[in-house]
Each structure stands twice: as structure tokens, then as C-alpha cells.
């Protein structure tokens, strides 16, 4: 008996093994050729097999059909009637254009329908009538509208209507008497969504309408009295929040709505909202009451905006906030008491902002802080009061991508980074040396004593203006102050820090009077010591002269001489004296020019017409038969009204008339002809080397004293020269 039972068990196991092989290999009619059939759940996988229709000879008890990426063009009535046990129908990425109204009739076990990526233009009314589905996906089709009763009497957990770029309207009765938990409508072309359209849906808890091509007009109170928990309205060109009405959602997403006005104070029902995302909406300022009525918010995401300041007053309404995400903004300021309003904060993300400095007060009070991300800011130093803050952070802090200035002030931070190897070693010293923290040594972190540069003792005219500046250099950058004779103390502001090692304090006196006379003390202080210096200012009670002008609406200040001085127009200034005579222009010929007979100079300014003057140099001297012409000439021209010229251009052109050079040119031409004749003769001899040619030599006589009967002229031009903003053109004549 024992052996018989054993044989039965072995036989059944063998039969099961054979059936499994048959189902996997598809060698029987139960599994189409080329498909994969899994007997465990009676599923048939026939993707990318060029099927144009669903085979009708499949096992009647199959539960899943996966026929995606085939060539099926139509779903007619009775298509799936032979398989009443079907739970999954996956027909994505086929060529379906027509789906019959009763295509899924009678499939009471059906849970999932996937028609994504087909060419369906219309869904017949009541097509899904009576179905109870976990998922219905009609995304990426060519739907133009969702007409009346399209989803009536259907029960669907998740309905996906994405990438239907021709979808413009949704009928008010499209979801009549339907029960849908989640609807996703992305990348469509909707003109609007009606109130009754959504209110006719029973049990809707999640609604996502995103990336609509047109500005989505959502009427006020659209989501009132609905049981929504998640509402995502990303990238719909929304401008206001009026549509919220009395909506009570847990998760609200308003990303990519550029120009959205952020003010939740009119919506008291938002008190249950826990997650709010407003990425890339273009916001630059957060008002003090922007988050009023959001006291139970847990997570706030505002990445990729233009926010510059984080003030504690804007976040004072939060009672349970745990996460603040402000990546990729322009934040350069955090109020010193920011942390006191956020005792529950655990994650503070400030990556890729413009913070140049921080201090412990900004984070003091964040007792539950786990992650502080300050990566890729502009931090150059880390104040000592941040040490306790960092020690209390239990997990992670990221400071990489900051240009730290590594002096002796930063030794404590370097030690902390060495101990926190997961994060600190990525920090980088940008100055005065360039190393990552992991490679830096203790001796690299040095400091220098401050020095001080102060103005000289000076006497000022009463009524004039003056700027006092005290500058100090040291590492770390010293703190600079000025103590005035009246006892007033001027201290530096953050903007007066010139670099990591140079700071300055500046006092501008717009109108000097007797109270400004006395001794001024400049003081520079750093951890390496202190230095001070005193300078004295005296005030002359003789007021500086005032420049008068005949035209009441125009003041012209004239500076004469060259180079032309730079003039700055101010009241009560003394016109500087010219360094050289004002209106004399000197033009000289180049060294060893052609022999000059006379010179013509033309001068052009912006205030006068061209002035032309001619100057004859000294006459040539005659010694016997030799005539000596002057080798150089100089002309001095008076330029009318040059004192009125603010800008001018100088240029010089020289023209020489000559006769003496004609002979030399003729001689050069004759010599060239002779050389050319000789070369030509040699070429002829080479070409005719096989022939006997008798050549008689001819004597060539050349006359070198050929004088033409008329004069020729040639122009010599020199590059343009500039003299004091006045252009001159000089011609030399022979």
C-alpha cells in the first residue's frame, strides 16, 4: 500500500512537470506559437508578435492577456466572451482605432484594462458600464472629448487619461453615477473643468490635472465639499488660489504655475494640509501671512524659485513643520532668529543658493535637525557659534561646493569635517590655498596681523566735498571703524568687506564745514591684534569759487592744454590749470623726408570749420652748382576756438611734388629693361641649343640724364597722428 501511494505521488508530479513544459514552450494549441504561457496564474504573454487579432482557441480559463505592441486595430463585440475568467487585458501600443461599446461586456472578473498608446478617438457611452476595475488606462490616444455617460456606472480605483493632446472638453455627465478613487489627466488641451463634472464622481480622493496646454480656468469653489486628499495641479498657468474654496486636502501640489500669487490666508479649511509643493512658480518674496492657516504643514517644497530672503515672520504659523526644501533659489539672507520659530524642523535643504555667510543664530532652536544641506553656496567662512549646531545634527551636513577661505578661524571646522568623513571631506579650501579638507594639514590654516591705511592730513575748503576712507588688510579680514572729532563711531557694514583679507570704512562729507575739522582715528581689529592711526582735517573758511554760466540751464567747464585733461562737472570746483599753452599745435615732418618746398596744414575740430594754413620753409642755399634743400620743416598753427573743443580728431596727410626723382626713376626703368633682355636671350639660347645660331653682339648705350619736359608728382601718406584731440592733415609739395 505504501508503494502504491508513492507511485501515485510520483505520477502526479511527473504529469505536472509535463504540463508545465507544454505551457512554457507553447508547443500545443493551448499556447500560441512564440508566446509565453504561465500556468501558475494562467497568463499568456504575446508581446511584439505582429498579431492582428486575439486567437480564439486559447484556454477558456485564462486570467490575463498581454498582447501589447502588436498590430491589433479593432476590439469588436464578443472579442473576449470565450474567456470569462479574464482579470487583465493589456493591449497597449497597438493600432486600435475602434472599440465596441460591448467589447468588455460580461467580464465580471475584470480588474485591469490597458489601452495606452493606441489611436482611439471616441469612447462609446456605457462602454465600462458595470465594471469594477482597479485600473483603466486610456492614455496617449487621440481622444477629442469625454462625452456624456462615458464612465457612467463604472467603479474604478485609478483612471489615467494622460497625453491625449486633442482632448478639449469633459462633459458634465461623463462620470455620472461613477465611483472613481483617482483620476490623472496630464498633457491634454482642456479649456476648463466643470464643477458638476467632478462633483458627480463618488469617492474621489486623488485628482491630478497637470501640464495642460492652455490656461486652465478653475471656477471658485470647484473642490468644495469633496473628499479629496491629494490635489495636484502642476503647470496649468494658474494665477490665483481662489479655486480652492473650502477644499480640505492633505497633499497639495501647485508646481510650475508661473506667476501664482501665494496667499493661503483666505482659506481656513487648509488647516489639514500636510504636504505643499510649489516648485518653479517664479515667486521671489514670501509674505508674512502667506502660510497662514497652514499650521499643520509637515513638508514645504519651494525649489527652483527666485526667493532671496527667509524671514522668521513668514514661517511663524507652522507648528508641525518637518521639512523645508529651498534648493536652487537665490537666498542670500536668513534672519538671525529663524530657527526659533521652527523647533520641529528635521530637514533643511538650502542647496545651490547664494549664502555668503551664516551664523549659529539662524539655526539655534532647531533641536530636531537631522539634515542641513548647504552645498554649492558662496560660504567662505564658518563662525565658531556653528560648532554646537553641527555637533547636534545627528545624521548629515553637506558643505561641498563652497569656496571656503581656510585661515586659522576655520581650524575647528576642519577638525569637525575630518571627524565627519561622510560629509566634511567634500568641503574645499578655495583660498589662500586650494585643497579639499581631507588633504589639508593643520599648518595650512594661518592668520596674519592687520595693517592700516588712513588719509593724510588735509586742509579742506568750506563748502567742498570730501571722502574719508580707512582700509585695513589682514587675515582674517579686520573689523574697521572710524572715530570722528564729535565722538561719533562709524563701523563697517558687510558690503564694505572688499575681500577675504581687506576691509574698509568710508565716510562721505557732501559739504564741508567747521564741525568737520579735527582729529579722526581709524581702528582695525582682528583675532591677531589691533592697530589704530590718527589723521587731521582742517577747514578753510574761504569758500571755494562757483563757476558761473550765461546760460542758466547749461554749465560748461573748460580745460585747456594737452594732453586734454579729464573734466568732471561739479558745483564749487576750481578749474585745473593747463600744463602747457592752450591753443598751439605743433606739426613736424618725419626725419629725413623728401626735400620740402612748402607745407599745407588743415585742422578740423568739432566746434569750428576746417582751418587751412600754408607755411613756406626757409629758402634753399646755393653753393656753386649744388642746391641744398631743407631736410625738415616745422609749422606752428593757431587753432581758433580750440578752447571750446571738447573732442577732436587729428590726422596728417603729406603730399610732395618733385622733379629731382624723375631721373632716378627713368634710370631704374632702363636697368630693368636691360636685365629683362638678357634673361630673355639666355632662354632663347637654351631652347635653341640644338641649332646653330649666329648671334652678333650689340652694344647697348644708356643715357642717364634724361629729364622729362613736364613735372610729375607722387603722394606720400603717413599714418594718422593725433594731437590733443585735434586732427591735422599736412601736405608736402615739390
Q: Are residues 534 and 604 in the same domain?
A: no
pLDDT digits (tens, 9 = 90+) for 422-431: 555 578 899 8
Question: What confidence tier does 590 reach under pLDDT thresholds 50, 70, 90?
Answer: very low
Instruction: Please tell me what DSSP assigns to residue 235.
Output: S
Q: Last residue of some domain: 505, 540, 575? A: 540
All cell numbers assigned to 296: 499643520
- What range does the domain containing 599 cover? 584-616+634-661+712-733
> How many domains does one find in the chain?
2
Q: Are residues 726 and 591 in the same domain?
A: yes
Give every CB contact of residue 182 below 8 A, 6+ residues apart in sequence: 157, 158, 159, 204, 205, 206, 207, 208
Q: Are residues 611 and 728 in the same domain?
A: yes
The rounded radius of gyration (Å) of the Cα atoms in the chain is 47
Helix, strand or coil for residue 200? coil
pLDDT digits (tens, 9 = 90+) for 357-379: 999 999 999 999 999 999 999 99
Instruction: Pick the closest to residue 46 from 33, 30, 61 (CA basis).
Output: 33
pLDDT at 638: 39
pLDDT at 544: 52
Q: Is residue 611 part of a domain?
A: yes
Q: Are residues 724 and 590 in the same domain?
A: yes
Percent of the chain with pLDDT over 70: 71
Q: Last residue of some domain: 480, 514, 540? A: 540
Please state which of the ranges 265-269, 479-483, 721-725 shows the lowest mean pLDDT.
721-725
Residue located via cell numbers 593724510: 456
pLDDT at 39: 85
Size of the chain, expressed as the number of residues it contains: 734
- Is the CB of residue 483 less than 8 Å from the CB of residue 517? no
Highest mean pLDDT among 13-17, 306-310, 448-452: 306-310
Which comes out higher in pLDDT, residue 414 or 656? 414
The torsion of the CA quartet 463, 467, 468, 473, rounded to 10 degrees, works out to -170
Please, what sign has the CA dihedral across residues 185, 186, 187, 191?
A: positive
Give every CB contact of residue 622 below 8 A, 6+ residues apart in sequence: 628
Q: Are residues 589 and 724 in the same domain?
A: yes
Q: Is residue 512 part of a domain?
A: yes
Whether the per-residue pLDDT at 170 is higher than 60: the answer is yes
Instruction: Pick the closest to residue 629 from 637, 640, 621 (CA basis).
Output: 621
Q: Is residue 718 part of a domain?
A: yes
Give every CB contact of residue 499 below 8 A, 6+ residues apart in sequence: 477
Q: Are residues 595 and 717 in the same domain?
A: yes
Question: What confidence tier does 12 reach under pLDDT thresholds 50, 70, 90?
Answer: low
Residue located via cell numbers 496649468: 236
pLDDT digits (tens, 9 = 90+) for 80-137: 989 999 999 999 999 999 999 999 988 999 999 999 999 999 999 989 999 999 999 9
Please state which of the ranges 58-67, 492-501, 567-576 shows the lowest mean pLDDT.
567-576
Q: Are residues 638 and 729 in the same domain?
A: yes
CA distance 529 to 531: 7
- Is the CB of residue 471 less than 8 Å from the CB of residue 458? no
Q: Is residue 521 part of a domain?
A: yes
Which comes out higher in pLDDT, residue 152 or 277? 277
Question: What confidence tier does 395 reach under pLDDT thresholds 50, 70, 90?
Answer: low
CATH value at residue 492: 2.60.40.10
H-type alpha helices, 382-478? 387-392, 411-419
Q: State the average pLDDT for the chain.
A: 77
pLDDT at 709: 36
Q: Are residues 597 and 526 in the same domain?
A: no
Phi, psi values for residue 10, rounded to 5°: -65, -40
Q: Is residue 354 part of a domain?
A: no
Q: Are residues 591 and 520 in the same domain?
A: no
pLDDT at 206: 95
CA distance 218 to 247: 13
pLDDT digits (tens, 9 = 90+) for 438-450: 888 999 999 999 9
Question: What confidence tier does 566 reach under pLDDT thresholds 50, 70, 90?
Answer: low
- Is the CB of residue 496 less than 8 Å from the CB of residue 478? no
Q: Is residue 474 part of a domain?
A: yes
pTM higher than 0.95, yes or no? no
- Is the CB of residue 319 less than 8 Å from the CB of residue 344? yes
Please, what sign has the CA dihedral across residues 385, 391, 393, 398?
A: positive
Q: Is residue 262 part of a domain?
A: no
How many other CB atoms are there within 10 angstroms of residue 138's CB atom?
Answer: 24
Q: Last residue of some domain: 483, 513, 540? A: 540
- Is the CB of residue 372 less than 8 Å from the CB of residue 351? no
pLDDT at 592: 43
Instruction: Pick the closest to residue 375 from 323, 327, 432, 305 (CA basis).
Output: 327
pLDDT at 13: 52
Instruction: Pick the closest to residue 373 from 396, 391, 402 (CA basis).
Output: 396
Q: Is residue 132 part of a domain?
A: no
All cell numbers assigned to 295: 499650521
Q: Are residues 468 and 589 in the same domain?
A: no
pLDDT at 472: 93
pLDDT at 386: 93
Kind and range of the H or E run holding 684: helix 660-687
pLDDT digits (tens, 9 = 90+) for 256-298: 999 888 888 888 778 889 999 999 999 999 999 889 889 999 9
Kind and range of the H or E run holding 75: strand 74-75
pLDDT at 14: 52
pLDDT at 672: 87
All cell numbers assigned to 241: 488660489
Q: Are residues 588 and 647 in the same domain?
A: yes
Whether the per-residue pLDDT at 403 is higher than 90: the answer is yes
Highest mean pLDDT among 55-69, 649-663, 703-717: 55-69
CB burial readout 544-566, b (16+ within 10 A) else e: beeeeeeeeeeeeeebbbbebee
Highest mean pLDDT among 172-176, 392-396, 481-485, 653-657: 481-485
pLDDT digits (tens, 9 = 90+) for 188-225: 988 777 667 887 888 899 999 999 877 877 877 778 77
Whether the per-residue pLDDT at 573 is higher than 50: the answer is no
Helix, strand or coil for residue 146? strand
CA distance 379 to 389: 16
Q: Are residues 656 and 728 in the same domain?
A: yes
Whether the per-residue pLDDT at 347 is higher than 90: the answer is yes
Amino acid at each position: 500500500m505504501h508503494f502504491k501511494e508513492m507511485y501515485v505521488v510520483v505520477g502526479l508530479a511527473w504529469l505536472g512537470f509535463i504540463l508545465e513544459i507544454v505551457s512554457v514552450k507553447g508547443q500545443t494549441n493551448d499556447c500560441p506559437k512564440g508566446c509565453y504561457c504561465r500556468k501558475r496564474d494562467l497568463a499568456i504573454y504575446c508581446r511584439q508578435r505582429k498579431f492582428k487579432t486575439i486567437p480564439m482557441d486559447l484556454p477558456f480559463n485564462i486570467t490575463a492577456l498581454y498582447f501589447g505592441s502588436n498590430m491589433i486595430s479593432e476590439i469588436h463585440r464578443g472579442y473576449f466572451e470565450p474567456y470569462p475568467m479574464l482579470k487583465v487585458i493589456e493591449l497597449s501600443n497597438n493600432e486600435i482605432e475602434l472599440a465596441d461599446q460591448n467589447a468588455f461586456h460580461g467580464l465580471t472578473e475584470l480588474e485591469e484594462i490597458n489601452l495606452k498608446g493606441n489611436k482611439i478617438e471616441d469612447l462609446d457611452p456605457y462602454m465600462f458600464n458595470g465594471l469594477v476595475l482597479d485600473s483603466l488606462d486610456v492614455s496617449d490616444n487621440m481622444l477629442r472629448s469625454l462625452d456624456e455617460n462615458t464612465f457612467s456606472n463604472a467603479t474604478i480605483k485609478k483612471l489615467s487619461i494622460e497625453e491625449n493632446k486633442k482632448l478639449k472638453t469633459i462633459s458634465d455627465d461623463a462620470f455620472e453615477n461613477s465611483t472613481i478613487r483617482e483620476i490623472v489627466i496630464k498633457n491634454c488641451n482642456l479649456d476648463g473643468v466643470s464643477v458638476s463634472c467632478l462633483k458627480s464622481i463618488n469617492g474621489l480622493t486623488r485628482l491630478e490635472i497637470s501640464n495642460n496646454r492652455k490656461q486652465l480656468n478653475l471656477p471658485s469653489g470647484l473642490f468644495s465639499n469633496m473628499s479629496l486628499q491629494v490635489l495636484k495641479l502642476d503647470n496649468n498657468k494658474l494665477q490665483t488660489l481662489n479655486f480652492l474654496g473650502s477644499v480640505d486636502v492633505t497633499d497639495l501640489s501647485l508646481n510650475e504655475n508661473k506667476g501664482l500669487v501665494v496667499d493661503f490666508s483666505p482659506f481656513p479649511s487648509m488647516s489639514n494640509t500636510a504636504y505643499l509643493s510649489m516648485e518653479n512658480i517664479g515667486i521671489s518674496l514670501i509674505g508674512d501671512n502667506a502660510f497662514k492657516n497652514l499650521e499643520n504643514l509637515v513638508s514645504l517644497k519651494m525649489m527652483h524659485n527666485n526667493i532671496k530672503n527667509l524671514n522668521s515672520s513668514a514661517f511663524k504659523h507652522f507648528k508641525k513643520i518637518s521639512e523645508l526644501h529651498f534648493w536652487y533659489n537665490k537666498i542670500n539672507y536668513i534672519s538671525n532668529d529663524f530657527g526659533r520659530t521652527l523647533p520641529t524642523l528635521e530637514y533643511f535643504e538650502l542647496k545651490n543658493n547664494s549664502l555668503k555667510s551664516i551664523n549659529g543664530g539662524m539655526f539655534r532652536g532647531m533641536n530636531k535637525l537631522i539634515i542641513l544641506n548647504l552645498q554649492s553656496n558662496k560660504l567662505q567662512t564658518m563662525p565658531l557659534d556653528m560648532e554646537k549646531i553641527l555637533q547636534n545634527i545627528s545624521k548629515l551636513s553637506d558643505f561641498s561646493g563652497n569656496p571656503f577661505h581656510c585661515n586659522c578661524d576655520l581650524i575647528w571646522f576642519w577638525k569637525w569635517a575630518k571627524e565627519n568623513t561622510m560629509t566634511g571631506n567634500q568641503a574645499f579650501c578655495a583660498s589662500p590655498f586650494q585643497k579639499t579638507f581631507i588633504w589639508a594639514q593643520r599648518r595650512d590654516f594661518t592668520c596674519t596681523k592687520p595693517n592700516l591705511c588712513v588719509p593724510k592730513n588735509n586742509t579742506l575748503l568750506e563748502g567742498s566735498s570730501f571722502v574719508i576712507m580707512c582700509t585695513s588688510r589682514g587675515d582674517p579680514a579686520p573689523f574697521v571703524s572710524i572715530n570722528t572729532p564729535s565722538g561719533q563711531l562709524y563701523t563697517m557694514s558687510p558690503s564694505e568687506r572688499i575681500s577675504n583679507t581687506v576691509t574698509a570704512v568710508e565716510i562721505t562729507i557732501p559739504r564741508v564745514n567747521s564741525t568737520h575739522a579735527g582729529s579722526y582715528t581709524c581702528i582695525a581689529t582682528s583675532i591677531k591684534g589691533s592697530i589704530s592711526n590718527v589723521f587731521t582735517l582742517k577747514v578753510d573758511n574761504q569758500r571755494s569759487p562757483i563757476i558761473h554760466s550765461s546760460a542758466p540751464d547749461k554749465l560748461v567747464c573748460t580745460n585747456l592744454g594737452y594732453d586734454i585733461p579729464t573734466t568732471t562737472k561739479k558745483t564749487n570746483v576750481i578749474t585745473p590749470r593747463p600744463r602747457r599753452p592752450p591753443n598751439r599745435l605743433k606739426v613736424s615732418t618725419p626725419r629725413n623726408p623728401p626735400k620740402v618746398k612748402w607745407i599745407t596744414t588743415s585742422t578740423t575740430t568739432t566746434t569750428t570749420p576746417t582751418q587751412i594754413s600754408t607755411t613756406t620753409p626757409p629758402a634753399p642755399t646755393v653753393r656753386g652748382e649744388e642746391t641744398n634743400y631743407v631736410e625738415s620743416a616745422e609749422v606752428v598753427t593757431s587753432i581758433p576756438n580750440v578752447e571750446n573743443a571738447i573732442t577732436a580728431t587729428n590726422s596728417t596727410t603729406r603730399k610732395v611734388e618733385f622733379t629731382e626723382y624723375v631721373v632716378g626713376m627713368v634710370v631704374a626703368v632702363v636697368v630693368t629693361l636691360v636685365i629683362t633682355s638678357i634673361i630673355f636671350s639666355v632662354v632663347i639660347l637654351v631652347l635653341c641649343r640644338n641649332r646653330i645660331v649666329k648671334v652678333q653682339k650689340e652694344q647697348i648705350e644708356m643715357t642717364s640724364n634724361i629729364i622729362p619736359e613736364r613735372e610729375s608728382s607722387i603722394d606720400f601718406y603717413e599714418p594718422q597722428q593725433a594731437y590733443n584731440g585735434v586732427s591735422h592733415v599736412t601736405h608736402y609739395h615739390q
